[in-house]
Structure 1
Amino acid sequence: MQQTSRAAQREQTKARILAAARQLFGEHGYDRTTIRSIAAAAGSDPGLVMRYFESKENLFAQVATIPADGPIEGDTDRIAELLTAALGSKLADEPAAGLAALRAMFSHPEAAKEVRTAMIGQQRQIAALMPGEDAVLRAGVIGALTIGTVIARHLLQLDGLADASPDEITQLVGPLIDTLVTGTA
């Protein structure tokens, strides 16, 4: 039987803590999640959580980032296709880290700043690839459409969205994204 090194054990413990924190922040938000509850869910000790992450805010900052959709490049048809596919993947698998950030941004100013920064960065990248003087506005609407759809499906569980397949939703939303990317009405 192979023994695990101390460094590997530390990394495994940190990974368990991050996974537990991601889940609990996503379910309960920043204010209602405690270091003790994270430690218990990770099968760890609250002291270890503090040793590895120093504070609840630092731990939150590590788990509540909005992951980028990946490189967005190509012509407008390809951009629309990539954005629609990214929405579909967020609808198929609940984006725990993103939802933790979204839930917390309503009560925690630092979380709102992180979400805003991530979204503005992606919005600007997409707008730079789109034609027209109103590209920044259209990219912002695409972001709002995406975030609103994800919130409505996963957090609010609105009728229709909660039960529909990701394909059904993207078939409805895809043409809107395409119109916004190309700038054609």
Structure 2
Amino acid sequence: MSAHPTRRAEQRDRTQSRILEAARRLFAEVGYDRATIRAIAAAADTDPGLVMRYFGSKDNLFAQVAQFDRDELITGTPPQAAEQLLAALEQKLAEQPTDALTAIRSMLTHPDAAAEVRSAMVARQQQAAQHLADDDAHLRAGLIGALTIGTVIGRHLLELDALRDAPPDRIAALLRRAIHDIAHGTPEPEPRAPNL
């Protein structure tokens, strides 16, 4: 008698996994507004009623799939931190970060997605700032975060030709000096106004 409920639980788990995978893919491809419950159910080869039964609403489903993968914590000296940030960027360029792209694509039209992106980025930047040069550490972390998200968007969402086709290690190599300069370099003084 215990085998029957177990089979049902396994079937439910498989269906939920298919729904989550379909939702993750559709939210990443078309954004929050255009990914309907009906389309998600069709992609998961299930009934729309089951999507609602398991997840309650489109918002709840979105909240479960639109999360940033948690990167490794940044550690060490500012030069070591810069290399870790470059390695994390290279990994995001090598494999489409589907969860992050889901949130990024949807953030322009869905307030919860914008909040998710901002929250994830702020947490990441606050943690990284502890390992960057002390002067303007949070600004340094924010600039590196902006470079990272801009590069990921350019490659995976906008599919800019050269950026889309370049090997991830080549992109990281071209950004290495800039990331290191931001992470621990001495800021350039402001140019003086010319004497008149």
Instruction: Settle same-fold status: TM greater than 0.5.
Output: yes
The secondary structure found in structure 2 opposite 1:86 is helix
The secondary structure found in structure 1 opposite 2:60 is helix
Shift of 1:177: 1.3
Is the contact made by 1:66 and 1:97 (CA closer than 8 Å) also made in structure 2? Answer: yes
Shift of 1:6: 1.8
Shift of 1:172: 0.6
* Corresponding residue for residue 164 of structure 1: 166
Is the contact made by 2:144 and 2:182 (CA closer than 8 Å) also made in structure 1? Answer: yes
- Runs of 4+ in structure 1 off by over 3 angstroms are none
The secondary structure found in structure 1 opposite 2:121 is helix
The secondary structure found in structure 1 opposite 2:163 is coil
* Corresponding residue for residue 134 of structure 1: 136
Shift of 1:129: 1.9
Find the aligned partners of 2:34 and 2:69 in 1 and give their Cα distance.
23
Identity of aligned residues (%): 58
User: Which amino acid counterpart does residue 184 of structure 1 have in structure 2?
Assistant: T
| Greater mean alpha carbon deviation, residues 138-147 or residues 106-115 | 106-115
Shift of 1:131: 2.1
The secondary structure found in structure 1 opposite 2:33 is coil
Find the aligned partners of 1:68 and 1:146 in 2 and give their Cα distance.
15
Find the aligned partners of 1:80 and 1:5 in 2 and give their Cα distance.
49
CA RMSD of aligned residues (A): 1.5
Residue among 86, 90, 93 paired with 1:91: 93
Task: Tell which structure's C-alpha radius of gyration is larger.
Answer: 2
User: Which amino acid counterpart does residue 147 of structure 1 have in structure 2?
Assistant: I
Post-superposition CA distance 1:43-100 (Å, at most 9, x none): 1111111111100011011111112212211222221111111101111111111111
Is the contact made by 1:132 and 1:183 (CA closer than 8 Å) also made in structure 2? Answer: no
Post-superposition CA distance 1:22-45 (Å, at most 9, x none): 100000000000011111111111
* Corresponding residue for residue 29 of structure 2: 27
Residue among 109, 112, 115 paired with 2:114: 112
Find the aligned partners of 2:69 and 2:9 in 1 and give their Cα distance.
27
Residues 1:14 and 2:3 are matched in the alignment = no
* Corresponding residue for residue 123 of structure 2: 121
The secondary structure found in structure 2 opposite 1:80 is helix
Residues 1:58 and 2:48 are matched in the alignment = no
Is the contact made by 2:28 and 2:99 (CA closer than 8 Å) also made in structure 1? Answer: yes
TM-score (norm 1): 0.94
The count of aligned residue pairs is 184
TM-score (norm 2): 0.89
Find the aligned partners of 1:7 and 1:72 in 2 and give their Cα distance.
39
